[in-house]
Structure 1
Amino acid sequence: MNNLSFLKHFEKKKINKTSDFSVGDYIKIGFYFKENDKKRIQFFEGIIISIKKSNFDKKITLRKLGNYGIERVFSCKSPNIEREKIVQSRKFNRSKLFYLRSFSGKNTLKKIK
């Protein structure tokens, strides 16, 4: 069994977990967080500012809106991701929304209309 067929085997197992996100969507992701010996689900909510696609995986960068800019990169095929939910969907003409890093505060969504 060569490496490519080995990877395709695991690729087939994760097919049901893919979601159609686009840049600008406001989503909520629940992932497993490990504290000491316990595992619990922690939620991260934010706007997608970039999507990186590779042959076997898709990575999204989320930015939490608020007084402090917190960004986090998630792998869509990670086994630690439990739930994905699109809260609000928006259409943008850009592929990356890095200009949102200059905004702060809760009215960031009002500025990007």
Structure 2
Amino acid sequence: MDIIKALEEEQINKDLPVVSAGDTVQVHYRIIEGTRERIQVFEGTVIKVQGTGSRKTFTVRRLSYGIGVERTFLLNSPRIAKLVVTRKGKVRRSKLFYLRDRQGKAAKVREKADY
């Protein structure tokens, strides 16, 4: 088991910020189209964080043309070019699935006063 832990420890990206549920983040994600590579920004609210170590994932939800879009990212993926936390959210639970049923102002997460 120590060999597996050592291999997973190598994969962890140390320069990414701490992300928790309720945060508004910008994920700069590398996309490969044929022979070209570009960076696409996905901005939204983190609705869940799960897993530990190198298998840690987070799901980001945003509204795109009135339709809710959710995308799950591997936190330690080499495809993530940059991760920017724009707002820290003040929430009382770890999974924010109730945001799926909300619209407009009701779907907003309050911002932490100081972080």
Global fold match (TM > 0.5): yes
Per-residue displacement from partner, 1:24-44 (whole Å, max 9, x unpaired)?
A: 000000010011210111110
Contiguous gaps of at least 5 residues in structure 2: 111-115
8 Å contact from structure 2 (residues 22, 91) kept in 1: yes
1: CA distance between counterparts of 2:24 and 2:87? 5
Distance between the aligned counterparts of 2:75 and 2:5, measured in 1?
16
Counterpart residue number, 1:16: 14
Q: Distance between the aligned counterparts of 1:98 and 1:4, measured in 2?
A: 36
Residue correspondences, number: 108
The amino acid of 1:57's aligned partner reads: R
Cα RMSD for the two superposed structures: 2.1
The answer to whether residue 28 in structure 2 is matched with residue 35 in structure 1 is no
Instruction: State the alpha-carbon separation in 2 of the partners of residues 86 and 68 from structure 1.
Output: 23
Q: Which residue of 1 aligns with 2:73?
A: 74
Corresponding residue for 1:99? 98
Letter in 2 for 1:59: T
Identity in percent: 31
Structure 2 CA distance for partners of 1:81 and 1:97, relative to 1, 3 Å: same
Gaps of 5+ in 1: none
Give the TM-score, by structure 2 length: 0.81
- Normalised by the size of structure 1, how large is the TM-score? 0.82
Task: Determine helix, strand or coil for the equivalent of 1:69.
Answer: strand
Deviations 1:38-71 (A, max 9, x none): 0111110010001112353210010013511000
